[in-house]
Amino acid sequence: MTAQAEQDVRVEHVAWDDADADALRAAQQAELRERYDDDDIGHTMTGDGIVAMLLLRVDGRAVACGALRDVSDEHGPGTGELKRMYVRPDARGRGLSRQVLTALEDAAAEHALDRLVLETGVLQPEAIGLYLAAGYHPVENYGEYVGVVESRCFAKLLRPASSPATPAAGERAIQPRTHAGPTPAADAVERVTWDHPDAVALRRAMVDELAPLYPEHAFGESDGFEHLDAEQGTSAVTTFLVRHDGIPVACVTHRRASAGWGAGVAELKRLYVAPAARGLGTARRLVGLVEDDARAQGAARVVLDTGIRQPEAIALYRRLGYRPVTPPAGSWEALPVSLWFARDV
């Protein structure tokens, strides 16, 4: 029997102004202030609208908390917001945050709230990982978090297991792809230079496809793609190109990660599979090639970033073992709609 199994772990409902709850909320705000070198936007939050304040106790000691607020007036009927999720540092790594999250979802159902939203920050990768694993999807920053580059917002629809959830505004369901074409084994992989014309053409197709999703990154000049592409190519190590029947259909690049990531880190960049070639496992294959190449070059970790409006990409990387990580200082200012992931290789 494990030590945790022998402990008495209980979740209880308390008043917002409960002394233990107040102490945990204060500890959370102090930790956020230290991480972000500033007060949390919502540090002056009161108990207004709170329909559940939960404490998790281990052997009687309050070590975790979470709150549920009814925000139906601001976000539509049946919407609740998760607030003040916190686990004391000495109690982390034991799944307690997931227990609090589950209890808050149960409380939401009891209060007829069937959609939950929340905000966390780029310097809290553990929280982002928790929410992604629990079925929350990135959504546009809402309310007071609009325009806050270090904030990331998530949402989840709560439905009985027998009823499929319908995505709300700002959420995209991940749909399985079907394809009656050839298997990945029929494709040929080449190592090419970053500026190989076929690789450049595929990256251009990728940018064109993503442009409607990320209008804030639209190029202001006609040659904007060329300038950015040339700049990114300065740190390229190996570019892989996939052809099917001689036609280029996919590419990816292993790039030297910026110094901010530390030593022994490689970056996966510009992974793209043409629409007609999707659903064949090509993306997974290319990720593996980058990992093998990075390992051969002495790297111990592969990092990447992807946008919050690409749920299929996020799901792919998570399935391949990539987990949210803290990006280098200032990265979120240039990429305010990105999430960062890494995997040790």
- Residue 166: its pLDDT value, please? 44
Q: Are residues 209 and 340 in the same domain?
A: yes
Instruction: Please report whether residue 169 resides in a domain.
Output: no
The stretches in the chain having pLDDT less than 70 are: 1-5, 160-186
Torsion of CA 123, 127, 130, 131, to 10 degrees: -100
- Residue 5: its pLDDT value, please? 58
Instruction: Please report whether residue 163 resides in a domain.
Output: no
Q: Are residues 205 and 116 in the same domain?
A: no
- Residue 272: its pLDDT value, please? 98
Range of the domain at 39: 3-157
Q: Are residues 111 and 203 in the same domain?
A: no
Q: Are residues 197 and 296 in the same domain?
A: yes
Q: Are residues 146 and 14 in the same domain?
A: yes
Q: What are the CA-CA distances from residue 139 to residues 40, 96, 163, 244 (Å)?
A: 20, 25, 22, 35
Instruction: Please report whether residue 36 resides in a domain.
Output: yes
Question: Which domain CATH number covers 309?
Answer: 3.40.630.30
Instruction: Please report whether residue 164 resides in a domain.
Output: no
* List of residues 6+ apart from 7 with CB closer than 8 A: 58, 59
CB atoms within 10 A of CB 169: 9
Distance CA(66)–CA(53), nearest Å, equals 6
Q: Are residues 16 and 122 in the same domain?
A: yes
Instruction: Please report whether residue 168 resides in a domain.
Output: no
Instruction: Please report whether residue 226 resides in a domain.
Output: yes
Q: Are residues 148 and 232 in the same domain?
A: no
Q: Are residues 33 and 120 in the same domain?
A: yes
At residue 202, what is the residue type?
L
Q: Are residues 205 and 125 in the same domain?
A: no
Instruction: Please report whether residue 166 resides in a domain.
Output: no
- Residue 159: its pLDDT value, please? 78
Instruction: Please report whether residue 176 resides in a domain.
Output: no
Q: Is 24 left (phi over 0), alpha (psi -120 to 50) or beta?
A: alpha
CB atoms within 10 A of CB 329: 9
Q: Are residues 263 and 333 in the same domain?
A: yes
Closest CA to 272 of 338, 206, 211, 226: 206
Q: Are residues 109 and 26 in the same domain?
A: yes
Chain centroid to CA 305: 9
> How many domains are contained in the chain?
2
- Residue 68: its pLDDT value, please? 98
- Residue 164: its pLDDT value, please? 43
Q: Are residues 128 and 253 in the same domain?
A: no
